[in-house]
Amino acid sequence: MLRGKNAFITGCNRGIGRAILDKMMSYNANIYCAIKKEDTNFSEYLENYNRSSGSRAEIIMLDLSNGDHIKDSIKILYEKKEKIDILINNAGIADGALFEMTSIKTMKDIFEINFFSQIQLTQLLLRFMKKSESACIVNIGSVSGLTPERGTISYGSSKAALMFATKVMANELSRFNIRVNAVAPSLIKTDMLDQMDDKSINKILDQTYSGKIGEARDIADVVLYLVSDSAKSINGQIIRADGGMKV
Ligand SMILES: NC(=O)c1ccc[n+]([C@@H]2O[C@H](COP(=O)([O-])OP(=O)(O)OC[C@H]3O[C@@H](n4cnc5c(N)ncnc54)[C@H](OP(=O)(O)O)[C@@H]3O)[C@@H](O)[C@H]2O)c1
C-alpha cells in the first residue's frame, strides 16, 4: 500500500513513533527516521529492513529543541531533491504542573518542541511535499489539548496550538494537494505515561468508556488510515483516539 511512498517520521525510535514506523515498514514505505540520539540497535533494525524489504529507511539526526539545526538536519533532502509524500510530526515531550507553578521558561521549552519546531520542520519540508501528487501530514496532538484538565497548562496548550495549526494548514495547503490531520490520543502505554501519577491516570480512566490504557499500535493504525487513499476526503480533522471519553 505504501510502496514507492516517501515518509518522514519524527521521534520514531520508541513509543508511538516506533509503532508508526513499524506499521509503515509493514507496508513497505521508504522512510526518513528523524531521531535525536544515535542508537546502534535502531540503526541495525533499519539495515535489516533495507536488506529485506526492497524499500529503504534512513536515519536523520534531528533535535527539535534547537530550531537553528533543523534546516541542517534535512540537508540530505535538498541534496537528493527528494519528494516527501507523508510527514508524521510525532516527537513530543510532556509536562505536568499547575498554572501557578509553571514558569514561562517551561512553557517556552515545551512549546519549542511540541509546537514551534513542528511548524518550522513542516514549513521546511513543504517544498518536498509539493512534489508529491497527493501528500499528507499527520500531527500527533493529544486529548490534553482538548479538555482543560488541571496541571496541563504547558503540555495541553502546546498540543491545542498544534491541533489548531493543523486546521489552518489543511485550509491553506489543500491547493497543493496536501491533506493535514491530527490524531489526539488519550493515555497510551509508552515511556511518556510513566511521567504521570497514578491518581491522574485513574481519573482519566474513570472518564474513558473502555476503561483501558491504549497501545502505541492503536495510534499507528489510525495514522495508517489517515495517510492511506481511503482517507483522501479527510482533511483538517482532529481524530480522537481515546477509547471514548465522557468529556
Ligand atoms: N503516551 C501518551 O499517553 C500520549 C498521549 C497523547 C499524546 N501523546 C503524544 O504522542 C507523541 C509520542 O509520544 P510517546 O508517548 O511515544 O512518547 P515517548 O515514548 O516519550 O517518545 C517521545 C519521542 O519524542 C522524541 N523527542 C523528544 N524530544 C525530542 C527532541 N528535542 N527532538 C527530537 N525528538 C524528540 C523522543 O526521542 P528520544 O528517545 O531521543 O528522547 C522519542 O522518540 C508525543 O507527541 C506525545 O505528546 C502521547
**Relative to the CA of 15, which ligand 1 atom is closest?**
16
Domain presence at residue 161? yes
Q: What is the pLDDT of residue 135?
A: 98
For residue 101, the domain's CATH number is 3.40.50.720
Q: What is the pLDDT of residue 247?
A: 75
Ligand 1 pocket, residue 86 CB under 6 Å: no
- Cα distances (angstroms) measured from residue 79 to each of 41, 73, 76, 87: 27, 12, 5, 19
Nearest CA to ligand 1 atom 1: 188
Domain presence at residue 34? yes
Domain presence at residue 246? no
CA-to-CA distance for 226 and 179, rounded, in angstroms?
9
Domain presence at residue 1? no
Ligand 1 pocket, residue 139 CB under 6 Å: no
Q: What is the pLDDT of residue 61?
A: 97
- Which regions in the chain score pLDDT beneath 50? none
Q: What is the pLDDT of residue 71?
A: 93
Q: What is the pLDDT of residue 246?
A: 86
Nearest CA to ligand 1 atom 46: 92
Output the nine-digit C-alpha cell for 34: 528523524
Domain presence at residue 140? yes
Q: What is the pLDDT of residue 154?
A: 98
Ligand 1 pocket, residue 6 CB under 6 Å: no
| Containing structural domain, residue 34 | 6-241
Q: Which helix (H) or strand (E) holds 6?
A: strand 6-10
Instruction: Choose one of 190, 193, 203 to mutate for the ligand 1 pocket test, by most ligand atoms within 8 angstroms of C-beta.
Output: 190
| Structural domain total, the chain | 1
**Relative to the CA of 64, which ligand 1 atom is closest?**
32
Nearest CA to ligand 1 atom 41: 36
Q: What is the pLDDT of residue 167?
A: 98
Domain presence at residue 247? no
C-alpha angle with apex 175: 170 to 179, nearest 5 degrees? 35
